[in-house]
């Protein structure tokens, strides 16, 4: 089973994605392609941004739709239901029906 199969099981559910730049994106997963590019709706992006000083400031932004490039993803937190979906997809088609 490929990781993309696991992520596909979470379509329609809320996921959290950690990016390589340290930001976190949370939203409803609406799509995933073979290159792990993700589409989120009702997304919220949070993360630390360095100001002119050495202090870091927590920033947040909301988006109606958000596209995340697969090469920028460090981690995807999936709901447990996506694992059940992936296990079901591994069964032969005759057993699923």
The model's pLDDT over 50-76, given as tens digits with 9 standing for 90+, comes to: 655 556 667 899 999 999 999 999 999
Q: What are the structure tokens assigned to 65, written together?
A: 């739709």
Q: How confident is the model at residue 2 (pLDDT cuts 50, 70, 90)?
A: low
Which stretches of the chain are assigned E, i.e. beta strand? 14-19, 24-32, 38-50, 56-68, 73-77
- pTM of the entire structure? 0.77
CATH class of 3-78: mainly beta
Q: Where are the domains of the chain?
A: 3-78
Q: What is the pLDDT of residue 54?
A: 54
Tens of pLDDT, residue by residue over 33-56, are 999 999 999 999 999 666 555 566
């Amino acid at each position: 089973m490929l990781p993309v199969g696991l992520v596909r099981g979470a379509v329609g559910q809320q996921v959290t994605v950690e990016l390589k730049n340290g930001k976190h994106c949370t939203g409803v997963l609406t799509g995933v392609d073979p290159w792990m590019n993700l589409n989120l709706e009702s997304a919220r992006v949070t993360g630390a941004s360095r100001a002119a000083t050495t202090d870091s400031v927590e920033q947040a932004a909301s988006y109606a739709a958000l596209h995340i490039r697969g090469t920028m993803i460090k981690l995807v937190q999936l709901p447990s239901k996506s694992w059940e979906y992936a296990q079901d997809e591994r069964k032969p088609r005759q057993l699923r029906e």
